[in-house]
């Protein structure tokens, strides 16, 4: 079930980042890889995630934030900042 607090359209970027880190951490085989993650870090290179991991992360993001991420947009999500920007734009559109 989606976190209702995460659906608030006035959610701060800091809160989005905190929620995003929790989602990513829960999908990593080695959560310690999350240390040192920066907004412009490449998710695949830094976190060593594969396409299946990325899809699982996206599904969790959709549930947590109450948004829909189109399949063609998944390929564009290369950094945490890309994800934050997408979440903010989806929430602003609601």
Q: In the prediction, which pLDDT does 69 show?
A: 95
Q: In the prediction, which pLDDT does 26 show?
A: 92
Total tally of structural domains belonging to the chain = 1
CATH number at residue 19: 1.10.1200.10
Domain that holds residue 51: 4-93
Q: What is the pLDDT of residues 1-50, one digit of tens each?
A: 444 444 444 578 899 999 999 999 998 888 888 888 899 999 888 888 88
Q: In the prediction, which pLDDT does 19 show?
A: 95
Q: What is the 3-state secondary structure (H, E, C) of 18-81?
A: HHHHHHHHHCCCCHHHHCCCCCCCCHHHHHCCCHHHHHHHHHHHHHHHCCCCCHHHHCCCCCHH
Segment (H or E) for 12: none
- Please give the residue that has the higher pLDDT: either 50 or 94: 50
- Please give the residue that has the higher pLDDT: either 79 or 2: 79
Q: In angstroms, rounded to a whole number, what is the distance separating the alpha carbons of residues 6 and 74?
A: 20
């Amino acid at each position: 079930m989606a976190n209702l607090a995460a659906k608030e359209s006035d959610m701060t970027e800091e809160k989005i980042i905190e929620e995003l880190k929790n989602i990513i951490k829960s999908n990593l085989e080695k959560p310690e890889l999350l240390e040192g993650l920066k907004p412009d870090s490449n998710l695949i290179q830094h976190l060593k995630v594969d396409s299946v991991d990325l899809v699982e992360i996206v599904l969790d993001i959709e549930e947590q934030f109450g948004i829909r991420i189109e399949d063609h947009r998944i390929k564009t999500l290369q950094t945490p900042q890309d994800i934050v920007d997408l979440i903010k734009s989806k929430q602003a559109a609601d």
